[in-house]
């Protein structure tokens, strides 16, 4: 074989090797690009799977740590609660408002009673300092209490008058009054002397705590 022939053969082998390397490099580049696109599509928040996982972490506002509903029962209402006004020896010029759950289901005594004497348009004021840390839950047969200061011992509430009726409206969870007719309660001795200082506490689980105010 001549030297010329050997040179031609070597050049041909070099060209084939170059083409093979180019083809392999192109294939690797395409594979790398495909892997990169696949990884990008799996980035958190960019795909439907990421959004779904983030949403599931937020949980349901109506469930606690155990997954059970936070809200059991509903707001106490006139058809499920008996309201009484009881006389007390101390503190002076106070009465105790008692709301007893007469139904077979629990209910919540939210906020404070909207208290009206006779046909008053405005309800009695509330002692904000008596607000409990949590809502008051009433199991069947259990009671909630509100202390009511009916008049000022030092006469600062004005002349006052004798009321012969009292009505109580319960609150919904967000503070709105329960719809429908209010509960009616009899007064000790049939009447109660009230003045402009009349105030009620929030609903509380404890009788002594209610009368503190």
131-186 pLDDT, tens per residue?
999 999 999 999 999 999 999 988 899 999 999 999 999 999 999 999 989 999 99
Rounded to an integer, the average pLDDT of 64-72 is: 37
Q: Is residue 103 pLDDT above 50, yes or no?
A: yes
- So what's the pLDDT on residue 73? 55
Higher pLDDT, 61 or 17: 17
- So what's the pLDDT on residue 125? 95
Q: Comparing C-alpha atoms, which of 128, 210, 187, 193 is closest to residue 155? A: 193
Q: Is residue 110 pLDDT above 60, yes or no?
A: yes
Whether residue 148 sits in one domain with residue 105:
yes
In a domain, 63, yes or no: no
Q: Is residue 91 pLDDT above 50, yes or no?
A: yes
Higher pLDDT, 127 or 5: 127
What tokens appear for 162 in the block? 């004798």
Rounded to the nearest integer, the mean pLDDT of the chain is 77
Q: Is residue 75 pLDDT above 50, yes or no?
A: yes
What span, in angstroms and rounded, lies between the C-alpha atoms of 123 and 112? 11
In a domain, 28, yes or no: yes
Cβ atoms of 182 and 127 closer than 8 Å: no
In a domain, 138, yes or no: yes
Number of domains in the chain: 2
What span, in angstroms and rounded, lies between the C-alpha atoms of 176 and 181? 14
- So what's the pLDDT on residue 121? 86
In a domain, 69, yes or no: no
Domain range for 31 is: 3-58
Whether residue 129 sits in one domain with residue 34:
no
Q: Is residue 47 pLDDT above 60, yes or no?
A: no
Higher pLDDT, 9 or 213: 213
What tokens appear for 146 in the block? 């509100």
In a domain, 17, yes or no: yes
Whether residue 82 sits in one domain with residue 52:
no
Q: Residue 92 CA to chain centroid, in angstroms? A: 37
Q: DSSP strand E in the chain: where?
A: 74-75, 81-87, 94-101, 107-117, 125-126, 136-138, 143-149, 161-163, 166-171, 183-185, 192-194, 199-200
Share of the chain above pLDDT 70, in %: 66
In a domain, 174, yes or no: yes
Cβ atoms of 142 and 87 closer than 8 Å: no
Whether residue 205 sits in one domain with residue 127:
yes
Cβ atoms of 167 and 178 closer than 8 Å: no
Higher pLDDT, 187 or 30: 187
In a domain, 67, yes or no: no
Rounded to an integer, the average pLDDT of 5-12 is: 45
């Amino acid at each position: 074989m001549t030297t010329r022939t050997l040179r031609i053969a070597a050049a041909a082998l070099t060209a084939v090797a170059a083409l093979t390397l180019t083809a392999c490099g192109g294939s690797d580049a395409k594979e790398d690009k495909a892997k990169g696109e696949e990884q990008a599509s799996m980035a958190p928040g960019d795909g439907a799977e990421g959004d779904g996982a983030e949403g599931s972490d937020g949980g349901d506002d109506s469930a606690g740590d155990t997954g059970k509903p936070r809200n059991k029962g509903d707001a106490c209402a006139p058809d499920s609660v008996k309201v009484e006004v009881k006389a007390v020896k101390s503190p002076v010029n106070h009465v105790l408002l008692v709301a007893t759950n007469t139904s077979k289901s629990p209910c919540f005594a939210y906020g404070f009673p909207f208290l009206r004497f006779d046909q008053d348009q405005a309800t009695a004021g509330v002692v904000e300092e008596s607000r409990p840390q949590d809502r008051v839950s009433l199991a069947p047969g259990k009671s909630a209490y509100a202390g009511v200061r009916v008049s000022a011992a030092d006469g600062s509430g004005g002349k006052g008058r004798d009321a012969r009726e009292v009505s109580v409206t319960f609150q919904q969870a967000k503070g709105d009054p329960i719809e429908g007719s209010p509960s009616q309660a009899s007064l000790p001795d049939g009447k109660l002397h009230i003045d402009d200082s009349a105030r009620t506490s929030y609903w509380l689980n404890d009788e002594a705590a209610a009368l503190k105010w």
